[in-house]
Chain A
Amino acid sequence: MSLLRCRGVTKRFGGVKALSEVDLEVAAGEIVGLVGPNGSGKTTLLSTIAGSLPVTAGTIEFDGRDITRASAHRRAHAGIARTFQVPRPLGSFTVEENVATASMFGRHATGRAAALDRARDVLKAVGLAAHAGHAVDSLTLHERKFLEIARAVALDPALILLDEVLGGLNPSEAALGMELIASLRERGMAVIYIEHNVRAVSTLADRMYVLNQGQNLADGTPADVLNDPRVIEAYLGGPVDA
């Protein structure tokens, strides 16, 4: 049974159709890559799944329940966590307080002391233990991106939505990030993973979806998708002659 099932998801912003009848399914423990050219609707789709944006039409089911109209906090309690493309830490909280907030109010809400303990564990897992008591201003870009992941993990989700967490990182930081994403699956979480670096997605993903101009273009295993002529045309503007 699918953990997440999106059917005919459509999102309009005034006269602009950002998503048009998009279908997507994710099974428990699966890593699904979501790729597409700029403006293809990837982040919008993630936002509709997380409840940050309401859909104009279509349905979203999670763990067998219709969550199409559920608020973002209900989806967080149901087991959906997300990161943002541009990290958005809570600026007046320390690193560990940022993560503890997710534990305090998330899926298995806890008291403050227990939440801080859990936050330290999660920070250790993502390599930020040394920064636990620091202000978020002191973090570098890759540390902020990992903090986004840590905060999402602290919600103890069944599905985690990652929005370009490797964007802007150097190769060694990106390699660490990929290890981190792979470890999410080992923790039993399903992942939807947006990334511009198609090669990185194909390395990690069990399946991939390609969006183009707000519509499903292709889906399947990474090998099938990357060899699909429609995908090549969408990315490169046409077949590449040898």
Chain B
Amino acid sequence: MSVSSLALAQTLLNGALLGCLFGSIALGLSVKWGHLGVADFFHLSLTLLGAYLTYSLVTELLWDPFLTLAVTVPAFFVVGVGVQYLFHLIDAQPFTTLLITFALFIVTESVVSMIWSPDLLNLRPLLADGFTTSIRLPDPLPRLAVQPIDLVALVCAALMVGLATYALRSTRAGRAVQAMRQDAAIAETLGVRVLPLTLAVSGLAAATAAVAGMVVSLRMPLTPTLPLQWIGVVVVATMLGGLGRPLGALVAAVVLMMIQNAWSLWFPPQWAPAVTFGVLFLFLALQPLTRLARERITSGRTA
């Protein structure tokens, strides 16, 4: 393999692994947006909070980063349930939920700045070498390097997305969620307990932010404005992957980050985010055409 092709392969691999992290964040957003109709910007803030809480528990109490999940996952589940219950109490319409979660998104950034300071906080220097030292892929694979932390992101994304996809497709609760997504009033008349189901889905989606936040704290320096850097990729991946489709969101995030990273090899990196939105623009522009083609094919079958 030539040097340039090796560099390209390494860049694509790095992009794919970073995409796994963004896919983990997009998972919760995709589930809440697709199945509950809540475009939840607060989910990004929860991920940030998860990262900062992990940082504090590791640095202050010297906990193992993975052990922090025993605290953050249940806590975020409760927060997710609480926010969804609030929406239920005020009978919030989709636009209202958008405004509320966006307000929480802004407030959380300020609260994090006040509690942890706006300065960069970095967990990496405190981590064992085994976490941070790059390892080479074994022969006969190409001579590419990966960081163990990125493998953690890969495993977490695969586990969470795999479980969510299985649950939605193959379990009784998943069928209830799908029925509720299509028409909550009809689902209720068919015996689906809609309120407890929405609370559980919201809680579980929020709990995934705790896991993604833990990975973030291991992967990158923390600053309260991180969600603003993520929002483009996460929202676009959620939409490209299909709302409510965790696997789609993960694949979209991986592809987007591979494209962004490859772009940065040849073009100014500051233009890389434009690629993300360019892909979204193309997707939205072509969507009516693909829908038309699908309808023609479908009507051809039924004719």
Are chains A and B native binding partners rather than an unrelated pairing? yes
**Which residues of chain B are within 8 angstroms of A128 by Cβ–Cβ distance?**
none
Does B179 interact with chain A (Cβ within 8 Å)?
yes
- Given contacts A92-B178, A92-B182, A138-B302, A105 and B190 within 8 Å (CB-CB): yes
**Which residues of chain A are within 8 angstroms of B172 by Cβ–Cβ distance?**
104, 111-112
Contact of A71 among B178, B182, B188 (CB under 8 A): B188
B183 with A93: CB separation less than 8 A:
no
> What separation, in Å, do the CA atoms of A155 and B187 have in the docked complex?
12
Instruction: Give per-residue flags for A90-106: 1 if the beta carbon is below 8 A from chain B beta carbons, else 0.
Output: 11110000000110111
Among the 9-residue stretches A54-62, A72-80, A167-175, A198-206, the one with 4 or more Cβ atoms under 8 Å from chain B is: A72-80
**Which residues of chain B are within 8 angstroms of A91 by Cβ–Cβ distance?**
182
Chain B nearest CB, measured from A105 CB (Å): 4
Highest count of chain A CB atoms <10 Å: which of B175, B187, B189, B195: B189
A82 with B182: CB separation less than 8 A:
no
Instruction: Give per-residue flags for A42-58: 1 if the beta carbon is below 8 A from chain B beta carbons, else 0.
Output: 00000000111000000
A93 with B179: CB separation less than 8 A:
yes
Contact of B175 among A71, A82, A104, A106 (CB under 8 A): A104
Does B136 interact with chain A (Cβ within 8 Å)?
no
Chain A nearest CB, measured from B185 CB (Å): 6
A52 with B185: CB separation less than 8 A:
yes
> What separation, in Å, do the CA atoms of A52 and B175 have in the docked complex?
21
- Given contacts A52-B185, A90-B183, A93-B182, A151 and B175 within 8 Å (CB-CB): no
Does A69 interact with chain B (Cβ within 8 Å)?
no
> What separation, in Å, do the CA atoms of A112 and B185 have in the docked complex?
21
- Given contacts A92-B178, A111-B172, A102 and B190 within 8 Å (CB-CB): yes
B191 with A73: CB separation less than 8 A:
yes
Does A88 interact with chain B (Cβ within 8 Å)?
yes
Does A144 interact with chain B (Cβ within 8 Å)?
no
Instruction: Give per-residue flags for B215-250: 1 if the beta carbon is below 8 A from chain A beta carbons, else 0.
Output: 000000000000000000000000000000000000
Which partner residue on chain B sits nearest A151 by CB separation? B190
**Which residues of chain A are within 8 angstroms of B175 by Cβ–Cβ distance?**
101, 104, 112
- Given contacts A93-B182, A101-B175, A50 and B191 within 8 Å (CB-CB): no
**Which residues of chain A are within 8 angstroms of B183 by Cβ–Cβ distance?**
88, 90
Does A176 interact with chain B (Cβ within 8 Å)?
no
B179 with A73: CB separation less than 8 A:
no
Question: Which chain A residues in 101-160 approach chain B with CB under 8 Å?
Answer: 101-102, 104-107, 109, 111-112, 135, 137-138, 151, 155
Which partner residue on chain A sits nearest B188 by CB separation? A72
**Which residues of chain A are within 8 angstroms of B182 by Cβ–Cβ distance?**
90-93
Does B193 interact with chain A (Cβ within 8 Å)?
yes
Does A81 interact with chain B (Cβ within 8 Å)?
yes
**Which residues of chain B are within 8 angstroms of A106 by Cβ–Cβ distance?**
190-191
Question: Which chain B residues in 164-212 approach chain A with CB under 8 Å?
Answer: 172, 175-176, 178-179, 182-183, 185-195
> What separation, in Å, do the CA atoms of A242 and B195 have in the docked complex?
58
Chain A nearest CB, measured from B58 CB (Å): 43
A105 with B192: CB separation less than 8 A:
yes
Highest count of chain A CB atoms <10 Å: which of B179, B193, B302: B179
Chain B nearest CB, measured from A73 CB (Å): 5
Chain A nearest CB, measured from B32 CB (Å): 19
Chain B nearest CB, measured from A128 CB (Å): 16
B191 with A109: CB separation less than 8 A:
yes
- Given contacts A90-B183, A104-B172, A111-B172, A73 and B178 within 8 Å (CB-CB): no
Contact of A52 among B189, B192, B195 (CB under 8 A): B189
B190 with A101: CB separation less than 8 A:
yes
Contact of B189 among A76, A93, A107, A137 (CB under 8 A): A76
Which partner residue on chain A sits nearest B193 by CB separation? A73
> What separation, in Å, do the CA atoms of A93 and B186 have in the docked complex?
13
> What separation, in Å, do the CA atoms of A81 and B190 have in the docked complex?
8
Give me 16 other A-B pairs in contact (C-beta within 8 A), A93-B182, A101-B179 excluded: A71-B188, A72-B185, A73-B191, A73-B193, A76-B191, A81-B189, A88-B185, A88-B186, A90-B182, A101-B175, A101-B187, A104-B176, A105-B176, A105-B179, A105-B191, A137-B298
Q: List 12 A-B contacts (CB under 8 A).
A: A52-B188, A88-B186, A92-B178, A93-B182, A101-B192, A102-B190, A102-B191, A109-B191, A112-B175, A135-B298, A138-B302, A151-B190
Please list the residues of chain B having a beta carbon within 8 angstroms of any beta carbon in chain A.
172, 175-176, 178-179, 182-183, 185-195, 298, 302
Please list the residues of chain A having a beta carbon within 8 angstroms of any beta carbon in chain B.
50-52, 71-73, 76-77, 81-82, 84, 88, 90-93, 101-102, 104-107, 109, 111-112, 135, 137-138, 151, 155
